[in-house]
Amino acid sequence: MDKIISVILVAIAGGILLGGLLAAFMALPVWLLWNWVCVDALHLPALTFLQSFGLALLCSLLFKSTTSTKSKE
C-alpha cells in the first residue's frame, strides 16, 4: 500500500514539474520578444520573466479559440 502511494506521489510531482517547465518554455518567447521589440520600438518598460509568464497566461485566456472542429453528423 505504501508503494502505491509513493508511486502516485512521484507521478503527481513529475506532472507538476513537467507543467512548470512547459509554462516556462511558453513564457520565454514572450519575454524575449517583448524586451527585444517593445522596449526599443514602443518605449515600453522591460518585463521580468514572471511578468511575461502572466502576460502569456492572460493572452491564452483572452484569445483562446472556442470553436470546435468536430463535425456534427
pLDDT at 60: 83
Q: Is residue 14 part of a domain?
A: no
Backbone angles phi, psi at 7, to 5 degrees: -65, -40
Say which residue the cell 512547459 belongs to. Answer: 22
Residue 43's domain spans which residues?
A: 25-54
- Whole-structure pTM value: 0.65
Q: Is residue 40 part of a domain?
A: yes
Q: What is the pLDDT of residues 10-33, one digit of tens each?
A: 999 999 999 888 888 889 999 999
Q: What is the pLDDT of residues 27-64, one digit of tens each?
A: 999 999 999 999 999 999 999 999 999 998 888 889 88
Say whether 62 sits in a helix, a strand or coil.
helix
Q: Is residue 38 part of a domain?
A: yes
pLDDT at 73: 59
The 8-class DSSP code of residue 24 comes to H
Q: Is residue 29 part of a domain?
A: yes
